A = this chain, B = another copy of it.
């Protein structure tokens, strides 16, 4: 078992991967694409990918990549995100002139950052990568927003911990593999479909679930490239593929969906009780 994730050591994706394995079996990748490729090519058995944050919303790139690759979803983990402001040891907050982090992390610390009006905020492609940048380039007066582990890994000092605006800041990660999960106890299914371009099409599609009292825990629309203002819909159902209600609803949906694909049936691992998805 080898788990690929995107980011530097200390990235939140690494923490998600560590729920399944230990440090010896991790493979750090530069991009989400490379995580999918590592699993495609057998360099890793699993890939761990963030798909949604409770504050920032969906990470659409990964929804697109799920569609481009043929790797079934085999697991899910939810992680409470705690952001920390860090800098070179000995730095005081009032000495900072700029702060680096991933745009989602910056957005999640918006109130905190607004209280530092003389500090320039700079977006980077990775939270832990920002910590690495500050350390490796020895950027005096620069801060990074990242995980506690990133501070440890890169030898930075935490100037203030838990700086996120909302304590209920949770990221959902999906785990992909080359082989579907054979476990009969899978309890969640993700499906993607497109619909004919006619009035009420989405209403009809949702009826296949509503008529069977199936709650959707998530619905997401993504544009279809090359077909302006037509959309793909991703839905999550709280049932495994072996559940009769689930399989009947999907057969029903296939009757009038233009296209449809089950991205995976898997077990959801929650990091704590309060992170239970609500119904839509």
Residue of B nearest to A219 (CB): B221
Closest CB of chain B to A54's CB: distance in Å?
4
Partner-contacting stretch, out of A14-22, A92-100, A206-214, A239-247 = A206-214
- The CA-CA distance from A107 to B273 in the complex, in Å, is 37
Interface residues on A, range: 35 or more
Number of copies of this chain in the oligomer?
2
B199 touches A166 (CB 8 A): no
Q: Is A40 an interface residue (CB 8 A)?
A: no
Chain B residues with CB below 8 A from A216, complex form: 202
In contact, B231 and A280 (Cβ under 8 angstroms): yes
Contact with B along A192-216 (1 / 0, CB 8 A): 0001011111111011011001111
B203 touches A209 (CB 8 A): yes
User: Which residues in chain A, 216-270, are within 8 Å of chain B measured between CB atoms?
Assistant: 216-223, 225-231
**Residues on the B chain within 8 Å of A203, using CB:** 203, 206-207, 209-210
B202–A280 CB distance below 8 A: yes
A41 interface residue (CB < 8 Å to B):
no
Q: Out of B57, B214, B221, B278, name the residue touching A60 (CB < 8 Å).
A: B57
Smallest Cβ distance from A87 to chain B, in angstroms?
Answer: 23
A228, B279: Cβ atoms closer than 8 Å = no
